[in-house]
Amino acid sequence: MTFSNKTYIMFGSLAIFIVISVLSLQNRLTTIDQAIISSLTGDVSPFVASLMEAVTKLGSGEIILIFTFIIAAILFFKKLYTQIVFLFTLTFGGIALNFFLKILFQRERPGEMSVIEVFGYSLEIASYSFPSGHTMRSVLLFTFLIYMSYYFIKNNTTKIGAIVIFSLMIIIISLSRIIVGAHFPSDIIAAVTISITWFYLCLILIQRLPIENFINKIKKVT
């Protein structure tokens, strides 16, 4: 993918996020949000509801952090140091960005207001709704895995299979946040678009900075 294509996607996603943000602040998405929620949750069976409760946990901060460090360890053993920098920048920068946006917009959740919890410990900080943190974390992690699959898996069948699976994980986790009543659909769309924006911004920066040369210099010194 060329530099211009990456910038088009990045700014296009950012533009969609800005539009959704403005409409959300003006409460002009309420009708659409409620219509989508009703269509998704109207005939949900207890089994599907339980399944969505389980699926949505995959986007929790704890699970994402565990997966991130496991992936980083694999990349380290394969000596893909630039990709480790990319992954950490993407993940931890994305967490910080999500926290900033939640504080900025302070949109209440469709259900009861909750607090942020990390590994079972309550931080006593309100967990706002916009944009969805679960969705952002999931989109960033699985988009990174899609990127890695596209560039590093040689077998086309395996590559396509991995990309499809990771794409489905993004969709299922995103939908689960609506079905379990944790977010409005506009929270999800906003999370997806700002995540794509952040992903391509990080990708452009990582590919244009001489990280590999810097790492090689450190290795020579040590």
Handedness of CA 146, 148, 151, 155 (dihedral sign): negative
Q: From the CB of residue 76, how many other CB atoms can be counted at a distance below 10 Å?
A: 12
Per-residue model confidence (pLDDT) at position 108 = 81
Residue 105 has a pLDDT of 87
Pair 180, 135: CB distance under 8 Å? no
What's at 13, amino acid-wise?
S
Q: How confident is the model at residue 202, as a pLDDT? A: 94
44 secondary structure, DSSP code: -
Render each residue's pLDDT in the chain as its tens digit; 222 residues: 777 888 999 999 999 999 999 998 888 888 898 888 888 887 777 888 788 888 888 888 788 899 999 999 999 998 888 899 999 999 999 999 998 999 898 888 776 655 555 444 444 455 678 888 889 999 999 999 999 999 888 899 999 999 999 999 999 999 888 888 888 899 999 999 999 999 999 999 988 876 555 555 555 544
Domain borders along the chain are 3-221
Distance CA 192, CA 180 (A): 18
Dihedral of the CA atoms 95, 97, 99, 100 (nearest 10)?
160
Whole-prediction pTM: 0.86
Identify the pLDDT of residue 123.
Answer: 47
Rounded Cα distance between 121 and 213, Å, is 40
Q: According to the model, what pLDDT value does residue 214 have?
A: 53
**Residue 111: what pLDDT?**
65
What one-character DSSP code corresponds to residue 58?
G
What pLDDT score was predicted for residue 211? 59
